[in-house]
Amino acid sequence: MDPNALGNQGKYEPGGNPQPWSEPVDRAQKEKVVDELGQIFESSGVVVVAHYVGMTVAQMQDLRALMREVGGSVRVAKNKLARIALEGNPAAKMGTLLTGMTVLAYSEDPVAAAKVSEDYAKKNDKFVILGGAMGDAILDPAGVKAVAAMPSREELIAQIVGCLGSPASAIAGAIGAPASNIASILTTIEEREAA
């Protein structure tokens, strides 16, 4: 294929290689990306910013799959557009983290994205957590680690249900106990009242 015969159809590598170079993003596309990023920053319970220099496509796909399992997502965006999306947002100070090759991991659950990111960083030294934001609180790497150590929404619900269920199981156990146990309990209560 002759690259000179292409005209304005796209830019091609020197030597006639038909692999198109990426075209510049037009203003409308940039505005759309800024709006999408703004929605991410507003609706997410936590956003984690990390460097991903040297990660392979397969490693990034693994991270995306792990994040999807917990209801989160991963997004790579131009730092400048992410900073613009942060303007006027409570987490605007997070813009200082957006340098170099950064990736955003986020979830509505305030713990899920931090947990997955922290676990993934332990397995892959090319994924380096820079910090993040939880509402208007800006997190450093230690802050992300602390958030990751907290129980997730599902774990908290399970703990609360467990606490609510334990008194009921104690009553059911007492009711189902042999009559001799109930009689001994009543005798003990009578003795305490007499004393």
Report the pLDDT value the prediction gives residue 101, as an integer from 0 to 100.
93
- pLDDT for residue 10 is more than 70: no
At residue 174 the predicted structure's pLDDT band, cuts being 50, 70 and 90, is low
- Among 81, 140, 148, which residue's Cα sits nearest to residue 110? 148
The superfamily CATH assigns to domain 26-149 is Ribosomal protein L10, N-terminal RNA-binding domain (3.30.70.1730)
- pLDDT for residue 17 is more than 90: no
Provide the residue ranges of all domains of the chain, joining segments of one domain with +. Answer: 26-149, 153-194
- pLDDT for residue 12 is more than 90: no
183 Cα distance to chain centroid: 55
pLDDT digits (tens, 9 = 90+) for 41-61: 988 889 999 999 999 999 999
Q: What percent of the chain has a predicted confidence (pLDDT) above 70?
A: 75
Rounded mean pLDDT, 145-151: 89
Distance separating alpha carbons of residues 12 and 6, to the nearest angstrom: 9
Q: What is the mean pLDDT of the chain?
A: 81
pLDDT digits (tens, 9 = 90+) for 71-125: 999 999 899 999 999 998 888 899 999 999 999 999 998 899 999 999 999 999 9
